Structure 1
Amino acid sequence: MQRARSHLFSKSFGWKQFLSLMEQQEPTILRAYTSLCLSKSGTLQKSEILTSLKNAGLPANEDNAVAMMRFLDTDKEGSISYGHFRNFMLLLPSDRLHDDPRNVWFEAATVVAVAPPVEIPAGSVLRSALAGGLSCALSTSLMHPIDTIKTRVQASTLSFPEIIAKLPEIGVRGVYKGSIPAIIGQFSSHGLRTGIFEASKLVLINVAPTLPDIQVQSVASFCSTVLGTAVRIPCEVLKQRLQAGLFDNVGGAIIGTWQHDGLKGFFRGTGATLCREVPFYVAGMCLYEESKKLARHLLGRELEPWETIFVGALSGGLAAVTTTPFDVMKTRMMTAPPGRPISMSMVAFSILRREGPLGLFKGAVPRFFWIAPLGAMNFAGYELARKALNKSEAIVP
């Protein structure tokens, strides 16, 4: 269009301008066409294309010849005329018209374009990590007492009402046991998780742009959750042993765990934790994103912050209930007496034999009320915090 329009500021061109362009380029295109190995009828068939490729030192095989014919939409006609070739050459930049037409045509028909390297904006990923870490650390500090109640229910044979009745005995200090490793672990792991989540989404969107949103969300959630959870497990072990009353303080929990179990003791329950965390975050993030889309569609507008928080709370609570069995097994493994070998299958069979299938859902009620606010803060709070950080970055002079 730039070559055909009448002046620099023209946004269109007419038939006269097009004919003028044709007259300028016609001799060059005709010379390029006649330089090919034409048949007696002046056309190009598969055999002539193979000969031209061979003479130019290019890979002369049937697949390449068919691809070159298909590229000019002539695979049904079986031959290429000058008109087909001219239409192709007219679309090339002017400087390519003087190149060997065999190379130009071969490259256009057979060389696959390689996408440029994906550039991940470090600032955006760091802001996402900071927003995720802060939102989760805040929610963990506020909801830690409910987490302690949930842990005590799962670690013992007592029921939820019986644990509630013992709260005066446990006291305020007791329900906040393990809060320091919990906050540190959640800040570091969720900061890492949200940073990897955003980076993974950017990579997937650039590498596979045709993937549906829900698949992008699922794959990014899976990658980020596995890596983020691995960082948090030692803090989770210390937190739950303090909550269950096995140790009195963080220092005692670290020394006691090391003396009885060594380094592997800090990673007890890794399998159960991953079995809980991966489905939770994959299901939670997908449920959160799809619920937001549905709510926006039904309301016909963007969601208010409080509506976003409500969707996050509901998504987190529902995902928490479905993953409770893995949470119960993780808690039993992490709070088992130090030094005793234990596995996820041993814990599962023990619960089923002694407490029945419902034993795998112990603590589901406090877990729902613990995770629902966490979901509001981790999913919705993270998104709102990230928007706030992006906005503050944008207004900085």
Structure 2
Amino acid sequence: MSNTGKDLTAGTFGGICQVLVGQPFDIVKVRMQTAPKGTYNGMVHCAGGILKNEGPLAFYKGTLTPLLGIGACVSIQFGALEYCKRIFASQNLAVGRGGEEGKSLTSSQLFVSGVFAGLANGVVSGPVEHIRIRLQTQSNTNPTYGGPWDAIKKIYNQRGIAGIYKGQGVTLLREASGYGIYFLTYEKLVQWEMTKKSIRRDQIKPINSVAYGAAAGYALWAIIYPIDMIKSRMQTDGFTPATGQKYKSTLDCVRTVWRTEGSSAFIRGLGPTLIRSPFANGATFLGFELAMRALDKL
């Protein structure tokens, strides 16, 4: 199997691990981000309401879309990341920096690789997350959509491809900035251990991959959370004034939220995100690293 094939396959496995671990936390985050001010007293109140009113399976509402889509997204992330890293590693060798691939990359090269991975991923993650959020926030008793495929068909028939990609601008901003930091943090921690212990990447203990992934996740959310909140608002907003449209644009959304709800609205739902992050991101990198090791032995 080619290097790109391995990257994509291992990335898909990492993405599936991320969704299965992180989905219950994500639905609580989205509900808190998009609900009117005062709806929930906190994370426990929100989660308790979901459990009481909708049952335990509600925490996996809309999971099919991210299971397929996020698997593809993470596959694209790692495929683009590793491709960009190989280009930089070749350039470094050409100018005489040498060193093992991965060790020789500078912080700026790793950051750019992450930005490239985020932008490549954003083309898929935008519509995937849009459909997921629509399903997560719709009424349980009178749902607008019967499932992900029904949502895609109805939105496309009403608004075309632009409807499917609603909120795409802010999604790309989130992906580029967030994944630049995300992969920079993870790769620098991996480089640090490889240098300190004089070991290969595949000799790093799995538990350390989990810890480094958790740290990368916290770095990611520290940068992007307010952007993510605006993205969630845009992707749950109506398409026209007649269907409940509140915001004319992303900038209008920022201004309106700031004026009507204050600065605290930009970090609403942060609690479940911070709890989710080490588990979901740790599982992502663990899944990717273990899959790569298995593929390298084939």
Q: Normalised by the size of structure 2, how large is the TM-score?
A: 0.83
RMSD over aligned CA atoms reads 2.2
Q: Name 2:67's counterpart in structure 1.
A: 183
Aligned: 1:283 with 2:181: yes
Partner residue of 1:172 out of 43, 47, 56: 56
Structure 2 counterparts to residues 8-23 of structure 1, below 5 A: none
Amino acid at match of 1:240: I
More displaced stretch, 336-345 vs 225-234: 336-345
Query: Match of 1:342, SS?
Result: coil
CA 357–299 in structure 1, closer or farther in 2 if over 3 Å, else same: farther
Q: How does 1:169-318 map to 2 (within 5 A)?
A: 169-209=53-93, 210=97, 212-245=105-138, 247-295=145-193, 303-318=204-219
Structure 2 unaligned runs (5+)? 98-103, 139-143
Residue by residue over 1:330-358, the C-alpha shift from the partner in whole angstroms, topping out at 9 and shown as x without a partner, is 10011112334632111111111122112
Higher relative contact order (CA 8 A, sep 6+): 2
Rounded Cα–Cα distance in structure 1 between residues aligned with 2:111 and 2:132 = 29
Offset, 1:138: 2.4
Partner of residue 276, structure 2: 370
Distance 2:285 2:22 in 1: 15
Aligned equivalent of 2:18: 139
Per-residue CA distance 1:25-48 (angstroms, 9 max, x = gap): xxxxxxxxxxxxxxxxxxxxxxxx
Native 8 Å contact 2:14 2:286 kept in 1:
no
- The match for 2:34 is 155
User: What displacement does 1:316 show?
Assistant: 0.9
| Percent identity for Structure 1 against Structure 2 | 21
Deviations 1:142-185 (A, max 9, x none): 32111111111111123334312312112223222211111111
Distance in 1 of aligned mates of 2:236 and 2:32: 12
User: Which residue type is aligned with residue 249 of structure 1?
Assistant: G
**In structure 2, what is the Cα distance between the partners aligned to 1:372 and 1:311?**
9
User: Corresponding residue for 2:259?
Assistant: 353
Higher helix share: 2
TM-score, normalization by structure 1: 0.63
Aligned pair in 2 of structure 1 residues 305, 251: CA closer, same or farther (>3 Å)? closer
Deviations 1:254-281 (A, max 9, x none): 2331243222011011111112122221
Q: Matched residue of 2:55: which SS?
A: helix
CA deviations over 1:72-99 (Å, ceiling 9, x no partner): xxxxxxxxxxxxxxxxxxxxxxxxxxxx
Q: Secondary structure at the match of 2:248?
A: coil
1:128 aligns with 2:41: no
Report the 3-state secondary structure (helix = DSSP H, G, I; strand = E; otherwise coil) of the residue aligned with 1:247: coil
CA distance in 2 between counterparts of 1:127 and 1:312 reads 20
